[in-house]
Amino acid sequence: MDHSVAMGSAVATIRHRKGPFIGVLIAVLAASALLTGLGVLFESGLRSGVPPQRYAGAPVVVGAPQAIPVVEDIDQPYSERVPLPVETLEKVAAVPGVAKAVGDLTVPVTIGGVPAGAHGWSSAELAPFSLRDGDKPRTDGVVLDSALAARTGSGVGDEVEIALGAVPRTFTVTGVTEQAFGREAALFFTDAQAGELFGRPEQVDAVGVLTEPGVDADELAERIGVAVPGVDTFTGDERGDVEFLDVGQVRTQLMVLSLSFAGTAMMIAMMVVASTLALSVQQRRREFALLRAVAATPRQVHRMVGAEILLVAGIAAVLGALPGYALAYGLRSAFASAGMLPADFGLAIGPAPAAAAIALCLGTARVAGWVAARRVARIQPVEALRESAVDAKPVGRARVLSGVVALALGTGAAALPVFLPGETAVAGAASSALLMVLGIALLGPKLVAVAIRLVGGPLRAASPVGGYLAVANVTASARRLAVAVTPLVLAVTLASVQIFAGSTVDAEATDQADRGVVADFVVTAPSGLAPSVTDEVRAAGGVEVVTPVVRSQVFVKHLTAGQWATTPYAAQGVDPAGLARTLDLVPREGDMNALRDNTVALSTMAAETVGVGVGDEIEVYLGDGVVTHPKVVATYQRGLGFGDLTLPHDVLIAHTTSRLDQSILVSATDSAAAGRSLAEIPGVVVADRQALAAAGQAERDANSWVNLIALFVILGYVAIAVVNTLVMATAARSREFALLRLVGTGKRQVRRMTLIESLVVIAVAVVVGSLAAVPPLVGLAIGMTGSPIPAITPLAYLGIVGVTALLGLFAIGVPTRLALRARPITAIA
């Protein structure tokens, strides 16, 4: 059978046997849409972003390298702005083709409760801004953009109070600009006063380059990159990455998230497509038996099945790519609502995600089709005819052995945190769920047979006719039922592991944050707290211990399995003096009071992951990329609630963008007096210890929503697969239903039989899926909390069971009713 004959036979078969192929088409189409959507997000992380606003008038923008280069992986962005030395201005200005080099520095402030970015007036020409009213700023004067002036009700000549790090100061509005940008409000001081207020005269955030007439921006950017080493140059929309620090971070986060979920989606798609194809081939046993009986060779059967699958999967993959782009827009909107993406972050639309999804789907379908066709292609012709009506052959030893091995590997991976410390073991436990589901899929017929032996007697007793028929049918069709059970098990296991893993980590982090803050008061401010505010708090009446807290993200370089890895960690900077009176991190080893200069304290999880202890040195990239090698002086337990690294306050704050504290913890000798004194400090918010825990909970909730959104998309695909598989399995039984009716079984009895079968399928899936989720969840709970008990919300679990039951009942009940509408004699023909 050559390729043209095989393709012609495939077209004819598909035309006359649409039922089995519709299921395959739906499974591949949904997989293509899911992979295309995630691919668009990944591509957007690579080359999309936000157009520049204040830098729109500068054809070239120069910034410092803002990420750690990682070989053969995604570069890791720094959490803080990496500044440029002010000398960079002269070096850039000296490059031929540069008309002017303008430095820019942004500092967060609040004016009338409205957050804004403050700049020196010389940077206004980078937009460019022009004055609508008044004049440029003078000493103790400020220029507001038009939108900020409107929001604060301010005009030329008015006095406004501007708070920098919660320290208020009065300025006179000297001018209002014509322009205003929606992403960030802007105000301008004189360059001299900006340098005085900002306290960073030796640094700039970026350099905007105005070009001489006729100079090409891209060529000039290349010349600057060569002439000024150690800088990155940007043109076009990439200039927005320099202006808006969060955009570069979001792009990396989007790539990591989409890659992570695309890997999970790919594995699930492979299982779903393979399951669907196995069911499709199984339903055509009579046809393949006849082909083998008339001397078709195994190779010819394989070629025919391959042609059919490539034809159907090719059409489905192409059709699925189109809704995949719509899915990407839906995910973008959902992530923006959850706070992960800026509202103005656009998607990069190109053909690459669709092409990759189509290729992956075709490859997966072809391999899955080859595996599904192996048995019907190898069976002997006489044996094929004997087994065409009932699939009586027992499950092969190789399949049973593979299933046992997969379950053993999954259990072993889940148990890693019991024997190995650190995040690698936790990751192994979390990823063991798919191995468990794979093992269950391979052992499905055996599990169904065991389940029916356990419940067969009670079912026959409860319903003498429907129960008897259901038990007999399930016993004889264990393979078919196993194919139906697998996607339901996948749904229950995946949903349970993903949802309850998140709730376990969240519950532990919340508990640590609640118990860890022992201060009487927490002082905060909308735009951060300047060091001078800490001095005011210390001078307040009734105050005993004051602990300023600054937060950032750092990277630790360490060896993992013989390879260098760069792991991001949340970090906090604190003053160790009297720390135990305001913050209880539960020290395990060493001395937190030794936290001075070039030292660090690590959470036990971080110490185990990095493989160090008290007295060792580690390599740390601070928030702005500065590399340091602090000595470990202590380890502590509460890393989830407060960050895995604790550094001296003055060390960490010097390497943040704003150089402001996030909070000040206060322990009082007289709470009433301290409360009154703190309330008199202008520009700050004074709250109790629960306020800090609530702020951390809000951040964790936002991260949880991002993961749940992606999870719900994947579970939506699994739900489609569940319905698709069950509808295929039930619709193919029209001849069976017709035969039962011809021998005297009523419609009601057939419906009761299928209802009992569906309840068996659902019960087996829920029980097995729940049991499969236990090892990963227990392993993760041990690794993250030290306790084997995960945080499981009963209502969420009931929701998983309820949705599973509804999917099963709907997908079996509806096609049963449709099949029973036909006359038995017509259906059986």
Comparing CA positions, the residue from 464, 457, 272, 440 lying closest to residue 361 is 272
Residue 2 clears pLDDT 60, i.e. is over it: no
pLDDT of the residue at 368: 76
Indicate whether 614 pLDDT > 60.
yes
Q: Which residues pair with 172 in a beta bridge?
A: 141, 159
Residue 433 lies in a domain: no
pLDDT band at 437 (very low <50, low <70, confident <90, very high): confident
Instruction: Note whether 138 and 227 are same-domain residues.
Output: yes
Residue 35 located in a structural domain:
yes
Q: Residues 220, 111: one domain?
A: yes
Nearest-angstrom CA–CA distance, 271 and 439 = 11
Query: Is the per-residue pLDDT at 667 higher than 80?
Result: yes
**Residues 285 and 139 occupy one common structural domain:** no
Output the CA–CA distances (angstroms, integers) from residue 308 to 7, 321, 369, 489, 699, in the order listed. Answer: 7, 20, 9, 28, 50
Is the pLDDT assigned to residue 191 strictly greater than 80?
yes
Q: How does residue 93 score in pLDDT terms, banded at 50, 70 and 90?
A: very high
In this structure, are residues 145 and 114 in contact, taking their beta carbons and an 8 Å threshold? no
Q: What is the mean pLDDT of residues 236-252?
A: 87
732/748 Cα distance (integer angstroms): 19
Q: How confident is the model at residue 300 (pLDDT cuts 50, 70, 90)?
A: confident
Which structure tokens are listed for 230?
């150690």
More confident residue, 238 or 281: 238
- Are 25 and 124 part of one and the same domain? no
551, part of any domain: yes
pLDDT at 815 over 90: no
Residue 561's SS3 state is coil
> pLDDT tier at 811 (50, 70, 90 boundaries)?
confident
Least confident of 161-165, 175-179, 273-277: 273-277
Structural contact between residues 27 and 175, judged by C-beta atoms closer than 8 angstroms: no
CA dist 628 and 598 (Å) reads 8
Whole domain around residue 92: which residue ranges?
A: 60-68+82-236
Between CA 718 and CA 27 the distance in angstroms is: 10
Residue 400 falls within a domain, yes or no? no
Do 327 and 287 reside in the same domain of the chain? yes
Assess whether pLDDT exceeds 70 at residue 526: yes
pLDDT of residue 247: 85
Residue 474 pLDDT grade (very low, low, confident, very high; cuts 50, 70, 90): low
> What is the rounded distance in angstroms from the CA atom of residue 659 to the CA atom of residue 653?
5
Domain contains 322:
yes
pLDDT digits (tens, 9 = 90+) for 693-744: 666 666 666 667 777 787 788 778 878 877 777 777 776 667 767 777 777 7
Indicate if 197 and 93 belong to the same structural domain.
yes
DSSP string, 481-544: HHHHHHHHHHHHHHHHHHHHHHHHHHHHHHHHHHHHB--SEEEE-TT-B-HHHHHHHHHSTTEE
- Side-chain-facing half-sphere of 735: CA atoms under 13 Å: 7
User: In this structure, are 284 and 298 located in the same domain?
Assistant: yes
Locate 157 and state its tokens: 């000549």
* H/E run at residue 62: strand 60-63
Q: Are 275 and 484 in contact (CB under 8 A)?
A: no
Prediction pTM value: 0.82
Percent of the chain with pLDDT over 90: 40
Helix axes of 747-785 and 423-430: crossing angle, nearest 10 degrees: 180
Q: Judge if the upstream peptide bond of residue 65 is cis by omega within 30 degrees of 0.
A: no
Confidence of residue 751 (pLDDT cuts 50, 70, 90): confident
Summarised one tens digit per residue, pLDDT across range 448-462 is 767 766 666 665 666
**Average pLDDT score over residue span 27-56:** 90
Pairing of strands 645-648, 663-668: unpaired
Q: What are residue 176's DSSP bridge partners?
A: 133, 144
Most confident of 154-163, 238-247, 262-271: 154-163
User: pLDDT at position 652, please?
Assistant: 96
Residues 264, 333, single domain; the answer is yes
What gap in Å lies between CA 42 and CA 96, rounded to an integer? 37
Predicted confidence band of residue 55 (pLDDT cuts 50, 70, 90): very high
- Return the pLDDT at 278: 72
| Six token digits for residue 7 | 């393709």
Q: Pick the last residue of a domain from 370, 393, 416.
A: 393
User: Are both 326 and 470 inside the same structural domain?
Assistant: no
Mapped onto helix, strand or coil, the DSSP state of residue 237 is helix
Last residue of a domain, which of 217, 236, 255?
236
Select the more confidently predicted residue: 120 or 689.
120
Structure confidence at residue 786 as a pLDDT band (50, 70, 90): confident
8-state DSSP, 123? G
Q: Are residues 343 and 360 in the same domain?
A: yes
DSSP state for residue 670 in the 8-state scheme = S
pLDDT band for 808, please (50, 70, 90 cuts). Answer: confident
What mean pLDDT value characterizes the chain?
A: 84
**Selected residue with higher pLDDT from 200 and 95:** 95
**Which residue spans within 112-158 are E strands per DSSP?**
114-120, 131-134, 141-144
667 and 524 share one domain: yes
In this structure, the answer to whether residues 355 and 454 fall within a common structural domain is: no
**Final residue before a domain boundary, out of 653, 688, 723:** 688
**Whole-angstrom Cα distance, residue 712 to residue 514?**
30
* Domains in the chain, number: 4
Instruction: Please determine, for residue 208, whether its predicted confidence score (pLDDT) is greater than 60.
Output: yes
Q: What is the mean pLDDT of residues 320-334?
A: 92
Task: Give the bridge partners for 686, in sequence order.
Answer: 523
pLDDT at residue number 466: 56
